[in-house]
Amino acid sequence: MANPVDPAQTSPPSTSPSPAPATQQSTDMSSQQPPSQPPQPSNGASKPAKPPKQPKSKDAPPAAGGAPGEEKLSPAELKKKAKAEKAARRAKERAEREASGGAGAGPGPNAAPPKKGSTGGGAGGKEAPGQPYKSQRHRRGSATQASATEQKKKQEDKNVAVFGHLYGQPRRTTIAGAGKEVHPAVLALGLQMRDYVVCGSSARCVATLLAFKRVIEAYTTPLGTSLSRHLTTHLSHQITYLSTCRPLSISQGNAIRALKLAISSIDPSVPEASAKATLSDFIDNFIREKITVADQVIATSAAEKIQDGDVIVTFAGSSIVKQTLLTAYKQGKKFRVSIIDSRPLFEGKNLARTLANAGLEVQYSLVNGISHAIKDATKVFLGAHAMTSNGRLYSRVGTALVAMSAKERAGGVEVPVIVCCETVKFTDRVALDSIVVNEIADADELVPSQPLKQVTGLPDPADEADTKKGDSKKGGNKAAANAPPAESTPLPEGASPLTNWKETPNLQLLNIMYDVTPAEYVDMVVTEMGSLPPSAVPIVHRMSTNL
Amino acid sequence: MASTTPAPSESAKPFDIVATYNELLRSDPDLTMPIAAIEALVLLLTHSPSSTISETLDLLEKSTAHLKKSIPNPIGLSAGTDLFQRYLITTLQRPGQLGPAGDFNAIRAHLLSNGRLFIRRAKESRDKIAAFGRGFVRDGSTVLTNGGSRVVASLLQKAADDKGGPSAVRFRVIYVLSPAKDSSAEPEGMETVRALRAKGVPVATIPESAVAYSLGKADIVIVGAEGVVENGGIVSRMGTYQIGLLAKAMGKPFYAVAESHKFVRLYPLGQYDLPIEQRVIDFNTEEDITDGHKPQSVAHSSDVVDFTPPHLISALITDSGVLTPSAVSEELIKIWF
């Protein structure tokens, strides 16, 4: 669904996966919508008959008919309605495309029912062969569909089944279709976050708050409502837009919650100008207290743990770890840093360059070489996306592997794993695995021939790891291992074998963003409120939110 | 305990906190290091003519730093000084008569009286711990313990009393004794051994090398602690860590006994991450020795400590209840925020 492949290139099967969820959604929506909209009058109306019903619902409540009636809808209802309309529109487009594609009528309706069945039943039937799923055999035995449809279905489904629930809306690619309420600063920020120009939990949190500050500065309360009431909904539009660009991080969520609380606690009698000034101050204070100063405190106290002769292993590019290492270096400590990085974001490259420029001794390797990198490690420093209430670390995918390698190093002394994390990243959620809650990025990022489709920002600077990168390209795509080698379309010279992965049958790519490190692998969490064992995360979270 | 020569105190200060601290420890064998530190600080406040809050805090900070520097192992001590400082600040920040707006003399009087109250309470906490902990010593069980911890001693004695005097004693003790620094003195903990034997408790004393051998006969391990750190581990007499490792390997419950004023805001990541310098491992060649560098074996003195990580500890018996190691940080956070 991501980039609706342009019609010229599409073979019919590749388009047809999308209509299934879309139509499903639209039917869901249309069946949901009528009951919620007119609760009292139109009980007798038949559900699917949408067009005849709408006038009816307009007529029935005479007090609030027509346009004013629509205004009365709550934002949630509005959103639902907009979604339903969009889904319907999309479904129509797709139907047209299919019809023009020729294969149309046949696979279209055929594709929908099996899809429904498989989403209802969880994992199973749509697995690529070779993936070890116990339920698969059983399911297949019980499935009554013809093998032809099954074949089709497998080709169609490019979502990895276990993570099926995480494929929501694809990330927004343009600002087209964004609501007119969305502030330009937010529009730009959304795209920057989408392109990983603004990347990292803290950076996104700060950027969001700063953008919201501009939103608030540009905001005027409409007549007939108060700032504390209307501004929240106004911000909600911005937030919705941001979350369509990339799902919000935990820190963003926490910051937004705090901001909304601050807005709602403003006395309606306060004049608008001073209310806005208060909110601006609140945002500045929040950024300073929860992130800027917190980072300094964390960096200082984490740097104390670095001793002469240490070999510090870190994963990807955490800004707080960078600050810690630089602080320790400035204190005159002699230590080595080993950065472990991974595809496709290569966040470690920036860190490596910054540290090397500052004068530190840096070793850079990819996660494939973890067993070598960890051999002479004495400490592991990790950044965090979030800390969950059961003490687990939710961070860039690969972190768990690094932590595990450090803790389970065969025959060596235990290497302490230290997490640097501001309390704004703490959440009361609990994560048992990295499947239930996660984020899936565009799988095209894994296809190496098109590295990062950046709209903004700089091209990739560091080329010193070219050879390593080449290695990783071969090994990095586990999903590729299952792909049958034979391909009908000959690939151009130099292109990755994965380039046409959407057309390749039995091939799914998974580009997952985060993983969960068990609490047992974390020795210490350094926060601005002191160093804690992971088990103390919920207590500190409770305290920092109550204050 | 370690009676280092008090460093030359600042000339302006007539009151020597280090000497007071050492004197307090020497005069009262029941006094723990954090309490001695707090008592010394209270005495300091009574002696010093500070008249403003910031002056008091400043004085306190300076003396604390001075005291910490002059004592070879300030871990236990810093628990006391930190606690006192924290207490002082929260008292001063509280609104009302005793807050920043109030009369300073009243504040001072209040602080001093409360400080004394705190010390009295801290001394009582040992009985409280004994009350909590004696349930862990079951009929017919064998307890393995080490060192010269007064809390452990009082716990065991309480348990012996509890069972109705000499006639009805139903537990035995394996006491791990480490040899004293000079062979003439008796090893630390001998006093407790005598006291327990007097109560009719059968006590076996073993050297540290026999712990693994004897642990099979023990049912539980109870040790004292010099400090309880933030992750729930304990800083304790050298040798505790290995007992912990052995107990874990053999599946015996390992309990640490400590007053809650021994909780330190410290987060060691391992043995070599303690904020003290211990020259336990001292490499020497023949040449070094002939050069006059004498290899000193400090490993047996009572001053050296090791760190027992939390995953080896089954529970901590404290005066605020029996805690799991992970609850320690919660307690500490409660004190500090």
What six digits make up the tokens of A217? Answer: 């500065």
**Residue A359: its pLDDT value, please?**
93
**Which among A6-15, A506-515, B8-17 has the top mean pLDDT?**
A506-515
Q: Which of A531, A537, A543, A546 to mutate to test the interface with B (most CBs of B within 10 A)?
A: A531
* Average pLDDT estimate for A490-509: 75
Q: Which helix (H) or strand (E) holds A531?
A: strand A530-532
Between B232, B270, B337, which is nearest A543 by CB?
B337
**Which among A532-536, B98-102, B110-114 has the top mean pLDDT?**
A532-536
**Residue A136: its pLDDT value, please?**
43
Closest to B307 in 3D by CA, of B243, B244, B234: B234
How high is the mean pLDDT of chain B?
81
**Which among A5-14, A17-26, A144-153, A480-489 has the top mean pLDDT?**
A144-153
Q: At B14, is the pLDDT very low, low, confident or very high (cuts 50, 70, 90)?
A: low
**Which among A71-75, B32-36, B162-166, B264-268 has the top mean pLDDT?**
B264-268
Whether A19 has a pLDDT exceeding 90, the answer reads no
Segment A510-525, tens digit of pLDDT: 899 999 999 999 999 9
Whether A490 has a pLDDT exceeding 80, the answer reads no
Taking an 8 Å cut-off on Cβ atoms, the answer to whether A523 and B232 are in contact is no
**Residue A65: its pLDDT value, please?**
41
Contact in structure between A388 and A251 (CB atoms under 8 Å): no
**Residue A319: its pLDDT value, please?**
93
CA distance B187 to A451: 70
**Residue A427: its pLDDT value, please?**
93
- Residues 360-399 of chain A with CB under 8 A from chain B are 379
CA-to-CA separations, B260 to A166, A485, B78, in angstroms, rounded = 47, 67, 13
Q: Which residue has the tokens 């939990």?
A: A201
**Residue A77: its pLDDT value, please?**
67
Q: Give phi and psi for B145, each to the nearest 5.
A: -140, 170
Indicate the SS3 state at residue B291.
Answer: coil
Between A416, A523, A539, which is nearest B333 by CB?
A539
Residue A136, CA atoms < 13 Å, CB-side half-sphere? 13
Q: Residue A39 carries which DSSP code? A: S
Closest to A184 in 3D by CA, of A222, A215, A205: A215
Residue of B nearest to A307 (CA): B273
Closest to A393 in 3D by CA, of A506, A497, A503, A514: A514
Domains and CATH numbers, chain B: 15-126 (1.20.120), 127-334 (3.40.50.10470)
CA-to-CA separations, A156 to A107, A160, A489, B79, B97, in angstroms, rounded = 11, 12, 18, 65, 76
CA distance A526 to A423: 9
CA distance A502 to A493: 19
What six digits make up the tokens of A333? Answer: 């400590």
- The proportion of chain B whose per-residue pLDDT surpasses 90, expressed as a percent, equals 23
Is A543 in the B-facing interface, judged by CB distances under 8 Å?
yes
CB atoms within 10 A of CB B225: 28
Among A327-336, A454-463, A469-478, B223-232, the least confident range: A469-478
Q: How far is CA B316 from the centre of its chain?
A: 13
* DSSP output for B204-266: EEEEGGGHHHHHTT-SEEEEE-SEE-TTS-EEEETTHHHHHHHHHHHT--EEEE--GGGB-S-
Rg (CA), chain B: 21
How high is the mean pLDDT of chain A?
74
Among A83-87, A208-212, A215-219, the least confident range: A83-87
Indicate the SS3 state at residue B193.
Answer: helix
Residue B104, CA atoms < 13 Å, CB-side half-sphere? 10
What six digits make up the tokens of A507? Answer: 């091939």
Whether A123 has a pLDDT exceeding 70, the answer reads no
Tell me if the domain spanning A293-437+512-544 has CATH number 3.40.50.10470.
yes
What six digits make up the tokens of B120? Answer: 């009295």
Q: At A250, is the pLDDT very low, low, confident or very high (cuts 50, 70, 90)?
A: very high
Is B283 in the A-facing interface, judged by CB distances under 8 Å?
no
Whether A478 has a pLDDT exceeding 50, the answer reads no
**Residue A143: its pLDDT value, please?**
45
Whether A46 has a pLDDT exceeding 50, the answer reads no
Closest to A524 in 3D by CA, of B74, B229, B315: B229
What six digits make up the tokens of A65? Answer: 């008919």
Q: Is A515 exposed, middle or buried (0-12, 13-18, 19+ CB in 10 A)?
A: buried
- The proportion of chain A whose per-residue pLDDT surpasses 70, expressed as a percent, equals 64
**Residue B89: its pLDDT value, please?**
78
What six digits make up the tokens of A87? Answer: 């889904």
CA-to-CA separations, A197 to A394, B102, B133, in angstroms, rounded = 21, 54, 58
Q: Is A393 exposed, middle or buried (0-12, 13-18, 19+ CB in 10 A)?
A: buried
Among A47-61, A437-451, B285-299, the least confident range: A47-61
**Residue A349: its pLDDT value, please?**
93
Closest to B257 in 3D by CA, of B84, B109, B169, B131: B131
CA torsion sign, A168 to A171 to A172 to A173?
negative
**Residue A476: its pLDDT value, please?**
41
Which amino acid, one-letter code, is at B275?
A: P
Q: At A261, is the pLDDT very low, low, confident or very high (cuts 50, 70, 90)?
A: very high
Top pLDDT among A495 and A125 is at: A495
CA distance A129 to A136: 9
The pTM score is 0.73
CA-to-CA separations, B253 to B248, B249, B316, B317, in angstroms, rounded = 7, 10, 11, 13
Sequence ranges of chain A with CATH classification 1.20.120 = 182-289
Q: Which long-range contacts (CB under 8 A, 24 or more apart) does A491-500 make?
A: A494/A449, A495/A449, A496/A447, A496/A448, A496/A449, A498/A446, A498/A447, A498/A448, A498/A449, A499/A447, A499/A449, A499/A450
User: How far off is chain B from A438, nearest CA to CA, in Å?
Assistant: 28
Whether A17 has a pLDDT exceeding 60, the answer reads no
**Residue B266: its pLDDT value, please?**
87
**Residue A254: its pLDDT value, please?**
93
CB within 8 Å of A194: residues ≥ 6 apart: A171, A172, A173, A245, A246
- Residues 181-240 of chain B with CB under 8 A from chain A are 230-232
Closest to A488 in 3D by CA, of A496, A480, A500: A500
Beta bridge partners of B257: B224, B317
Closest to B81 in 3D by CA, of B35, B136, B150: B35
Looking at this predicted complex, what is its ipTM?
A: 0.81
Taking an 8 Å cut-off on Cβ atoms, the answer to whether A539 and B270 are in contact is no
Segment A144-172, tens digit of pLDDT: 445 555 555 545 577 888 888 888 777 77
* Average pLDDT estimate for B50-60: 78
Indicate the SS3 state at residue A375.
Answer: coil
Top pLDDT among A505 and A378 is at: A378
Count, in order, helices (H) and strands (E) of chain A: 20, 10
Sequence ranges of chain A with CATH classification 3.40.50.10470 = 293-437+512-544
Among A318-332, B278-292, B309-323, the least confident range: B278-292
Residue of B nearest to A547 (CA): B337
**Residue A461: its pLDDT value, please?**
60
Indicate the SS3 state at residue A168.
Answer: coil
Q: Is B224 exposed, middle or buried (0-12, 13-18, 19+ CB in 10 A)?
A: buried
Between B270, B329, B336, which is nearest A533 by CB?
B329
Contact in structure between B268 and B307 (CB atoms under 8 Å): yes
- What is A182-289's CATH number, 2.60.40, 3.30.420, 3.30.70, 1.20.120? 1.20.120
Q: Which helix (H) or strand (E) holds A67?
A: helix A66-71
CB-CB neighbors (< 8 A) of A523 in chain B: 231, 269
Q: At A364, is the pLDDT very low, low, confident or very high (cuts 50, 70, 90)?
A: very high
Top pLDDT among B181 and A110 is at: B181
CA distance A28 to A504: 31
Indicate the SS3 state at residue A355.
Answer: helix
CA distance A130 to A482: 7
**Residue B130: its pLDDT value, please?**
86
Between B269, B330, B333, which is nearest A524 by CB?
B269
User: How far off is chain B from A415, nearest CA to CA, in Å?
Assistant: 9
User: How far off is chain A from B106, nearest CA to CA, in Å?
Assistant: 30
CA distance B127 to B122: 10
**Residue B71: its pLDDT value, please?**
81
Closest to B315 in 3D by CA, of B249, B242, B246, B225: B225
Angle (nearest 5°) at CA B250 between B245 and B252: 90
Q: Where are the alpha helices (DSSP H) in chain B?
A: 17-27, 33-47, 53-70, 75-93, 104-133, 150-162, 190-198, 211-215, 240-250, 286-290, 325-336
Taking an 8 Å cut-off on Cβ atoms, the answer to whether B333 and A540 are in contact is yes
Q: Respond yes or no on whether the N-terminal peptide bond of residue A344 is cis (omega within 30° of 0).
A: yes
**Residue A121: its pLDDT value, please?**
39
Taking an 8 Å cut-off on Cβ atoms, the answer to whether B231 and A523 are in contact is yes
**Residue B222: its pLDDT value, please?**
94
